């Protein structure tokens, strides 16, 4: 019986999207725990929180409304 390797084209791609402060904290904890093989995306209205994020990608939303500040738990 031959073993066939799966090429990268057919492998599952896992992305974790963390939204807001709690989502960003969860992403940072996952990265600190050594989780590999996952792409992390942090989404927040707070630009300062995104600067300290360890996520692979960050997305700042609502910047025209919040001017990069947090939404104060009132989306």
Residue with tokens 């500040």: 69
Q: Where are the domains of the chain?
A: 12-64
Residue 75 has pLDDT above 80, yes or no: no
Q: 39: Cβ–Cβ under 8 A, 6 or more apart, which residues?
A: 13, 14, 15, 16, 56, 57
Dihedral of the CA atoms 42, 43, 44, 47 (nearest 10)?
60
Q: pLDDT, tens digit, for every residue of 23-74?
A: 999 999 999 999 989 999 999 999 999 999 999 999 998 877 766 666 676 6
Residue 20 vs residue 2, higher pLDDT:
20
Write down the pTM of the prediction: 0.78
């Amino acid at each position: 019986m031959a073993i066939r390797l799966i090429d990268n084209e057919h492998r599952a791609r896992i992305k974790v999207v963390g939204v807001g402060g709690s989502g960003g904290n969860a992403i940072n904890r996952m990265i600190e725990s050594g989780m590999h093989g996952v792409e992390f995306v942090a989404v927040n209205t707070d630009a300062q929180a995104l600067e300290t994020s360890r996520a692979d990608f960050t997305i700042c939303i609502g910047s025209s409304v919040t001017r990069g500040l947090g939404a104060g738990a009132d989306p």
